[in-house]
Amino acid sequence: LSDKLGLCCLFKNNLPVFTMNYPRIQIPFEITLWVLLASFAKIGFHVYHKITIWVPESCLLISIGLIVGAIMHSVHEEPPAVLTSNVFFLYMLPLIVLESGYFMPTRPFFENIGTVFWFAVVGTLWNSIGIGISLFAICQIPAFGVQDINLQENLLFSAIISAVDPVAVLNVFEDVSVNEQLYIVVFGECLFNDAVTVVLYNMFSFVAEMPVVEPVDVFIGVARFFIVGLGGMAFGILFGFVAAFTTRFTSKVREIEPLFVFMYSYLAYLVAELFAISSIMAIITCALTMKYYVEENVSQRSCTTIRHVIKMLASISETLIFFFLGVVTITTDHEWNWGYILFTLLFAFVWRGLGILVLTQIINPFRTIPFNMKDQFGLAYGGLRGAVSFALAFTLPDTIGRKQLFVTATIAVILFTVFLQGISIRPLIEFINVRRTNRNLETINVEIHCRLMEHTMAGIEDLCGQWSRFYWKDKFMKFNNRILRKILIRDSRAESSIVALYKKLELQNAMEILDTASGDIKLLMIKKFLAADLRNIHDILSKNMYKIRERTVAYRGKHALPNDSQTREILIRRHATIRRSLRPRSCQSSNVPRTHKYFSLPAGKSLESRFDAARWHYTGKLRLSLKSLNTTLPFI
C-alpha cells in the first residue's frame, strides 16, 4: 500500500502542484487511524448497548478483529506490525496495568492480600506444573503425533497459558459485578501472577535449550523468583516516592504536573523490563505508592486530568489489544493438532478448577469470610486467558520446533476462555446466585462504622499485644504522618480533613449539577467517579479519625498516664505480653518491666479495665466526631 501511494505526481517537468509522500507519515497516520477505529468501535457498542449486556466487549472486539483479519487475508494485505510482542509489552500493557494499579481499591486489596498472593503464586505454579506434566503424558501417546515435544517445552508452553490475564478478566468481571471479595481476589491474582509467569517463562525457555537440568538450577529458579517479584516491588516503591517528591515542587508549573505521574510509572516499568524483573509489579506498586501523595500535591485540575488520561489510555489500549488479537489470529500461520489442542483446553480447565478447590480449602481457615462453593465456581470459571499469553507465545524462541503449534494452541485457549467462559459467566453466576456486589450499600455512614471497627480492632490489638494487620497499618500510618508526609507533601500541615472533605463534596456536587445539566450523562460514569471519591472520603476520614484518636490518647494521659510516653508504654507492654506468651508458665506472674514507672495497675487487672476504658473512649470520641461531621456535612 505504502509503495503504491509513495509517488510524487509531477506536473510535467515543472514545479509540482500536487505532491504526496505517504511513507513519511505512515507510522503516525496508521496508529491514529487504528486508535480512531477502536474509539468508533467503543462508541458503537455503547450506542447499541443491549449487545454488551450479554456479550462482553472483549468478544465483540475479537470478532471485529477476526472479520478485519479475514478481509486483510483475502486481499493478501500484510497484517499491521502493531501487535509484535515488543509493542504489546512496551507500549500497550503498561497503560492497562497503570490504570489497574492507580484505581485499585486499596482497602479490600490489603484486606485480601494474603489470599491474592496465595492464588497468584501458588495457583500459577500449580497450573503450570499440572498442565505441563499432563500434556507431557499426552505427548507419549503415539496416536497424536506430538512425541517430539519434550517435558521442558511442555512446561514452557503451560507457563504461557496458565497465567490468568488482567485485560480479559477485568473486562468481564467489571460487567458482572460479583461480590467484592471475589472481585478483588481475581483482580489481584491476575495482576500479581506476572512475577511467577516471567520467572517460569524465562526459566523454562532457558531450560528448553539445555540438555540436562542440574539441581542448582532449581535453587537459582527460586532465588530468581524472589528477585523478580521483590525487585519489581522495590523499583515501584522507589519511583513512586520519587514521583511524589517531585510533585512537591510543581506548584508553579501546574501544566506539566500530570506528566510526572505518567513518566515515573512508565520509567518504573521500563527499568523493570530492562532488568527482566516483574514490570507489572513495578508499575502497580509505583502507582499505589505515589497516588496518595501526588493527589495531595497537585491541583484539582491536574488530578482530574491524571485520572481521566489514565482511564482513557487504558481503555483505548485494551480495545486495541482485543482487536489485534482477532486480526492476528487470522493472519498467523497455524499448525493444527486436534489431540494436543483439545487436551490443552481440557487440562487448562480442569487444573484451574482443581487448583481453586484445593487452594481455597487451604486458605479458607485463615479468612474472615471463607469462600463458599459458589465463590469457588466464580474463581475457577473466571480464569480467562488473554493477550499476555498471546504475546508471550509469539516471543517463543524459534529453536522450538513446534512453535506454531504452541501459538495455535494458545490462541485456541484464549478464544475458548474469552468466548465460551466470558459469555456464559454472567448467566451462570446469575443462575447459581453467587453473592453479588454490595457496593451500593457504601455510604459515608457505613464508612464511618467500618472505621470505628478498625480503630476498635487496633485498640484491642494494642492492648492484647498482637501484631496483626491493624498493628502494621497503625505503625505505617505513624511513620507516614511523622516522616513520609513531611518529605513528600508540600503542604503537610494540612487543614482539617473534614473541611477538605466538605470542599471536595461541594465540588463534586457542582460538577454533577453542571454535567447533568449539560446533557444526559451516563449514570455508570458518575457511579465510577463516586466510587473513586468514596474511596477518597474513606482515606480522608481514616486519616482524620486517626488523628482524633492520637490527640485524645494524649489527652487521656492527663488522667491515667501523666505524660506523652503512652506509646512507649504500650510497646513495652506488648513486648511483655509476648514474653509472657513465650513462657506459658509465668503468664500470670506480674513481670511488668520496672523501667516504666507510670504503669501502676496490677498487670492481671489492667487488660479488662484498660479495654473498658478504651471502649468508652473510642465510642465517646466517635459520637463527638459524628456530631461534628453532622454539622459540617448536613447531607450525610
Among residue numbers 287 through 306, which ones bind a second copy (CB under 8 A)? Answer: 296-297, 299-302, 304-305
> Please, what is the minimum distance in Å from the beta carbon of residue 314 to a second copy?
8
Nearest-approach distance from CB 223 to a second copy, in angstroms = 6
Distance (Å, rounded) from C-alpha 552 to C-alpha 556? 6
Distances (CA, A) of 577 to 240, 276, 470, 572: 37, 45, 17, 9
Residue 227 interacts with a second copy (CB under 8 A)? yes
Are the C-beta atoms of residues 197 and 225 closer than 8 Å to each other?
A: no
HEC string of 225-290? HHHHHHHHHHHHHHHHHHHHHHHHHCCCCHHHHHHHHHHHHHHHHHHHHHCCCCHHHHHHHHHHHH
What's the Cα-to-Cα distance from 118 to each of 121, 250, 348, rounded to whole Å? 6, 40, 19
The residue from 202, 437, 481, 628 that contacts a second copy (CB under 8 A) is 202
Return the residue of 1, 2, 7, 20 that touches a second copy, per CB under 8 A: 20
For a second copy, the binding residues in 305-364 under the rule CB under 8 A are: 305, 308-309, 311-312, 315-316
Q: Is 507 a residue that touches a second copy (CB under 8 A)? A: yes
Is residue 28 close enough to count as binding a second copy by CB under 8 A? yes
The smaller minimum CB distance to a second copy, of residues 345 and 494, is found at 494
Q: Is 67 helix (H, G, I), strand (E, B) or coil?
A: helix
Q: Which of residues 76-105 bind a second copy (CB under 8 A)?
A: 86, 90-91
260 contacts a second copy (rule: CB under 8 A): yes
CB 445 within 8 A of CB 636: yes
Q: Which residues pair with 436 in a beta bridge?
A: 178
Whether the Cβ atoms of residue 451 and residue 541 lie closer than 8 Å to each other: yes
Q: Based on CB atoms, which residue is closest to a second copy, 24 or 615?
A: 24
| Closest separation in Å from C-beta 257 to a second copy | 8
SS3 content of the chain, % helix, strand, coil (to 5): 80, 0, 20
DSSP secondary structure string for all residues of 328-359: HHHHS-----HHHHHHHHHHHHHHHHHHHHHH
Q: Which of residues 130-169 bind a second copy (CB under 8 A)?
A: none
By CB under 8 A, name the one of 2, 7, 11, 555 that touches a second copy: 11
Complex with a second copy: residue 104 or 463, whichever CB lies closer: 104
Rounded to a whole number of angstroms, the minimum distance from the CB of residue 284 to a second copy is: 18
- Residue in 238, 314, 316 with CA at minimum distance from that of residue 34: 316
Q: Is 16 in the site for a second copy (CB under 8 A)?
A: yes
- The binding track of 455-494 with respect to a second copy, each residue x by CB under 8 A or -, is -----------------------------------xx---
Shortest CB 144 distance to a second copy, Å: 30
3-state secondary structure 553-568: HHHHCCCCCCCCCHHH
Q: How far is the CB of 635 from a second copy (least distance, A)?
A: 16
Q: What is the dihedral of CA 270, 276, 280, 283, to 10 degrees?
A: -40
Count CA atoms closer than 13 A to 333's CA, side-chain side: 3
- Our finding on whether 221 is near a second copy (CB under 8 A) is yes
Within residues 39-68, the interface with a second copy by CB under 8 A covers 39, 42-43, 46-47, 49
- Contact string 264-283 vs a second copy (x = CB under 8 A): x-xx--xx-xxxx-------
Name, in order, each residue with C-beta under 8 angstroms of 219's C-beta and a sequence gap of 6 or more: none
Query: Least distance in Å: CB of 425 to a second copy?
Result: 23
203 binds a second copy (CB under 8 A): yes
User: Is 495 one of the binding residues for a second copy (CB under 8 A)?
Assistant: yes
Q: Is 436 helix (H, G, I), strand (E, B) or coil?
A: strand
Q: In terms of CB distance, is 148 or 520 closer to a second copy?
A: 520
The yes or no reply on residue 216 touching a second copy (CB under 8 A) is yes
Residue carrying C-alpha cell 500497550 = 92
CB of 281 to a second copy, least distance (A): 17
Smallest gap, in angstroms, from Cβ of residue 517 to a second copy?
6
Residue 345 or 505 with smaller CB distance to a second copy: 505
* Site membership for a second copy, residue 506 (CB under 8 A): yes
- What is residue 165's DSSP assignment? P
CB 306 → a second copy: shortest distance, Å?
A: 9
User: Measured at the alpha carbon of residue 148, what is the angle toward residues 145 and 152, in degrees to the nearest 5?
Assistant: 130
Q: Would you say 441 or 517 has its CB closer to a second copy? A: 517
Cα 340 from Cα 336, distance rounded (Å): 9
Based on CB atoms, which residue is closest to a second copy, 41 or 405?
41
Find the shortest distance in angstroms from Cβ 43 to a second copy. 5
Of 3, 4, 17, 634, the one binding a second copy (CB under 8 A) is 17
Asked if 14 is part of the footprint of a second copy (rule: CB under 8 A), the reply reads yes
- Does 249 bind a second copy (CB under 8 A)? Our answer is yes
- Sequence-ordered strand ranges (E) for 382-523: none
154 closest CA partner among 344, 389, 350, 352: 344
CB atoms under 10 Å from CB of 595, counted, come to: 8
Distance, in Å, from the CA atom of 141 to the CA atom of 128, rounded to the nearest integer, reads 21
Count of positions on this chain that bind a second copy (CB under 8 A):
99
| 590 scored as a contact of a second copy (CB under 8 A) | no
Closest distance of CB 153 from a second copy, Å: 16
Near a second copy in 508-547, by CB under 8 A: 510-511, 513-515, 517-522, 524-525, 529
Least distance in angstroms from the C-beta of 363 to a second copy: 30
| 252 part of the interface to a second copy, by CB under 8 A | yes
CA nearest to 250, candidates 533, 484, 482, 491: 491
Tell which one of 77, 174, 255, 430 touches a second copy (CB under 8 A): 255
Taking the complex as a whole, how short is the minimal distance between the CB of residue 16 and a second copy, in angstroms? 7
Q: Least distance (Å) from a second copy to the CB of residue 507?
A: 5
| Complex with a second copy: residue 254 or 475, whichever CB lies closer | 254
**How many H-runs (helices) and E-runs (strands) does the chain carry?**
29, 0
